[in-house]
A and B are shown apart, each in its own frame.
Chain A
C-alpha cells in the first residue's frame, strides 16, 4: 500500500489546474454577493423594504414551503410549462423538419413564420385571454407560442444545414421518406433542434410568469404579482428565487438531455 501511495504524485493545493480554479471561483462569487447583501441589509445601508436580507427571504421561503402553498404554485406553473412545451414544441419540430426537407412547404409556411415572429409574444396575452378565457388554455397557449418559434426555426435551419451527401447516401441506399426523416433529417438536425429547445424553454418560462400575473389565481407568476399587491416583498423574492431555480434546473436537465440525444458531437 505504502509503495503504491508513494508512486502517486501529491497534488498541491496551489497547483490546481485552471478549470477547477475557475469552477471554485464561479461557485464562490454568488455566495460572496449574498453575504455582502446580508451585511449591507443588517447595517441598514440597504433599504430592507425593497431589499430584505437573504436570511429573511430564506425564512419566508421555509414558512411558505411548510404551509404547502409554494409547492402548489410551483407545481401548477411547472405543469403549465410542460403541457405548453409539448403543445407548442411537437408541432414546431415536425413543421420545422418538414420545412427543411421540402422546399414547396418552406415557400408556403416560411413567410407566415417570418411575418408573425417579430410580434412580442407577451403582447398576444390580451388576445389569448379574450379568445381562450381565464382558464388553463390561455396559459398553455402562451407557453406554446413562445416555444413554437425557436424550435420551428432552428429545426428548419438544422435540416437545411445537413450536408447533401447524407441525403445522397439515403437515396442510394433506398431510404424511404419516413426513413429519411427518422435516420437523417431528425438526428442530423438534432444539435440545432436542442438549441431551439433551450431557447424555447427559456421563452416559455418568461411567458408563463407574465401570463400568470394577469389572468390567474395560482402559479408562481400569480405569487409574485400577489406579493406586489399586498406589499409582501420577501414573498416576491421567494417567487423570483424559485423561478430562477427552475430555469437553472431546466438548463442542467436540457444539457444532460443533449448529451443523450447528441452522443456523437465531439
Chain B
C-alpha cells in the first residue's frame, strides 16, 4: 500500500539544465510517489527527454538535484530506461537483449532464465527468443525493449516515447500490454509522450510542460481506476473531456514553440 507519509520514489528539486545560453529545463520541482505512473507531456523541444536522461544518469543537471529512493534489495538497479525508437542491440538475439541488464549486474543464471522467460512469455515472444531484432516488426522490437527494462527489475522505470514510431493499431496494443505487465508490480514509472490520448490512457498523473524553457505548467490527476481497459476508456465521456482540457493547455505551448521557431528561423 502506498501511504502519504512514505518517502517519494523520486524527488526532483529545483532542477534546471542549460546548454550554453539555452535553458532546456527551468526549475522543475516534483515529488513522484512510489508506484505512481507519471506521464510527462509537452511540445517538442520542451526538455522532457533531457529531464528523463538526467533521471537515467545519462546527463547531469546544471542546477538543482533529484533523489531516487534506494532499492530495498542489494544489487537491484535504481532505474532502467526504455529508449525512443530502436535501441535493441542488433547483434544479440531477443533473449540476450532481454537478459542484458541482469547479466550486466551478474545475476545468477537460474534467475536470468526464470525472469527473462517470464517477460518473454508476457509479451508473447517466447518463440522468437532466438531471433535477431531485424527479423521482428517494429512493434515486436519495442515489446522486447520493454521486457528488457522490466526484466532488470529496477526501482523506477523511465520511458522515452517508446511507442512514437509505431502505427496507431500497434500503439494501442502495446499500451494495453504495457499496462498489463505494469499491473503485476506497479513500479514507479516516468513516461514521456507527445500524445495526449496516450497520457490519459496510461497515467495516474499528468505533468504538462511549457515550451522552451521547459517548466511545469500543470499537474493533474487522471480519475480512472485500475486495471484499465484501453478500448473501453476511449468511449468514456470523461476521457474525451480530459483529453480536450489537456490539449487546450498544450496548444498554447505548441503555438508558443512554433512562434519561437519562426522567430529563430
Chain A bound to chain B = yes
Q: Which residues of A contact B (CB under 8 A)?
A: 165-166, 168-176, 179, 183-184, 187-188, 190, 262-264, 266
Do A173 and B87 form a contact, CB below 8 Å, given A179-B104, A264-B134?
no
| B57 close to A172 (CB less than 8 A) | yes
B199 to chain A, nearest CB (A): 23
Instruction: Tell me, yes or no, whether B45 is within 8 Å of chain A by CB.
Output: no
B85 contacts across to A, CB distance below 8 A: 165
Segment from B76-84, B181-189, B200-208 that makes contact with A: B76-84
Instruction: Tell me, yes or no, whether B56 is within 8 Å of chain A by CB.
Output: yes
B83 contacts across to A, CB distance below 8 A: 165, 168-169
A62 to chain B, nearest CB (A): 47
Chain B count of residues within 8 A CB distance of the other chain:
23
Do A169 and B87 form a contact, CB below 8 Å, given A174-B77, A264-B134, A266-B134?
yes
Residues of B153-181 contacting chain A, CB below 8 A: none
Instruction: Tell me, yes or no, whether B240 is within 8 Å of chain A by CB.
Output: no
Do A264 and B105 form a contact, CB below 8 Å, given A169-B83, A172-B57?
no
| A166 close to B58 (CB less than 8 A) | no
A-B contact count (CB 8 A): 56
CA distance A240 to B83 in the complex (A): 55
CA distance A171 to B57 in the complex (A): 8
Residues of B199-253 contacting chain A, CB below 8 A: none
B56 contacts across to A, CB distance below 8 A: 172
B152 contacts across to A, CB distance below 8 A: 173
A264 contacts across to B, CB distance below 8 A: 90-92, 132-134
Q: Which 5 A-B pairs have the closest CB atoms?
A: A187-B91, A264-B132, A173-B101, A264-B91, A172-B81
| A173 close to B104 (CB less than 8 A) | yes
B79 to chain A, nearest CB (A): 8
Instruction: Tell me, yes or no, whether B100 is within 8 Å of chain A by CB.
Output: yes
Q: Dominant SS at the A interface?
A: helix
B171 to chain A, nearest CB (A): 20
Q: Which residue of B lies closest to A179 (CB)?
A: B104
A183 contacts across to B, CB distance below 8 A: 89, 92, 100
A262 contacts across to B, CB distance below 8 A: 91
A195 to chain B, nearest CB (A): 16
Q: Which residues of B contact A (CB under 8 A)?
A: 56-58, 77, 79-81, 83, 85-87, 89-92, 100-101, 104-105, 132-134, 152
User: What are 8 inter-chain pairs, A to B, with CB distance below 8 A?
Assistant: A165-B86, A165-B87, A168-B87, A169-B87, A174-B104, A176-B104, A184-B89, A264-B92
Q: Among the interface residues A165, A166, A173, A175, which one has the most CB atoms of the partner chain B within 10 A?
A: A173
CA distance A221 to B168 in the complex (A): 65
Please give 10 more A-B residue pairs, beta carbons under 8 A apart, in addition to A172-B80, A183-B92.
Answer: A165-B85, A166-B89, A169-B89, A170-B104, A172-B58, A173-B77, A173-B100, A174-B77, A174-B105, A175-B104
B177 to chain A, nearest CB (A): 21
Partner of A168, one of B58, B100, B101: B58
CA distance A124 to B102 in the complex (A): 50
Q: Among the interface residues A174, A175, A263, which one has the most CB atoms of the partner chain B within 10 A?
A: A174
A175 contacts across to B, CB distance below 8 A: 104
| A187 close to B89 (CB less than 8 A) | yes
A123 to chain B, nearest CB (A): 39
A266 contacts across to B, CB distance below 8 A: 134
A168 contacts across to B, CB distance below 8 A: 58, 81, 83, 87
CA distance A184 to B133 in the complex (A): 15
CA distance A247 to B12 in the complex (A): 63
B132 contacts across to A, CB distance below 8 A: 263-264
CA distance A236 to B246 in the complex (A): 83
CA distance A190 to B92 in the complex (A): 13
A182 to chain B, nearest CB (A): 11
CA distance A8 to B239 in the complex (A): 58
CA distance A263 to B104 in the complex (A): 22
CA distance A173 to B150 in the complex (A): 12
CA distance A176 to B86 in the complex (A): 22
A263 contacts across to B, CB distance below 8 A: 132
CA distance A179 to B103 in the complex (A): 10
B91 contacts across to A, CB distance below 8 A: 187-188, 190, 262, 264
A174 contacts across to B, CB distance below 8 A: 77, 101, 104-105
Q: Which residue of A lies closest to B90 (CB)?
A: A264
